[in-house]
Amino acid sequence: MAPKRNPLKLNKLQLKTLTLLQELARLPDMATPNAATGEVTVTGFPPPHGNHFHMGRFVVMASDATGLRNEAVWRALTRKQLAHGHFPTAITLTPAGIAYQTHMRDAILHGGDD
């Protein structure tokens, strides 16, 4: 049997937020990895200008990023053991959060060359 596409049943806002956090975790000026635990703490959140913001080589629509500033989304990711943090200043992705397949990357990260 094939694995479930969204086994933790994250809603669309949670999936978008986790996708953005995963990308922020890849950016050295936005996040700090912990080699001992495999976690990555995100402390940099790009400010929007107009209806979008830049994240590394990508452009993200501000409407796709509302979960980055939503405490309920952070709590949901914590309950699902994908992250833990100190809203609104820092959130740490667990190894499970880093590896979770959201299938949203191509839909919300625009303009990057893979």
> What residue segments make up the domains of the chain, in order of their start?
12-108
Dihedral sign of CA atoms 13, 41, 69, 24 in order: negative
Q: Name beta bridge partners: 114.
A: none
Amino acid at 60: V
Q: What is the mean pLDDT of each run of 10 residues along the chain (114 residues)?
A: 86 98 97 98 93 95 96 98 97 98 96 68
Q: Which of the 8 DSSP states describes residue 78?
A: H
- Kindly list the distances between the CA atom of residue 75 and the CA atoms of 56, 80, 105, in Å, as whole numbers in the listed order: 26, 9, 22
- Residue pair 91/84 in contact by the 8 Å Cβ criterion: yes
Q: pTM score, two decimals? A: 0.94
> Which tens digits make up the pLDDT trace of 35-44?
999 999 999 9
Residue tagged 């990555």 (tokens)? 40
What was the pLDDT predicted at 29? 95
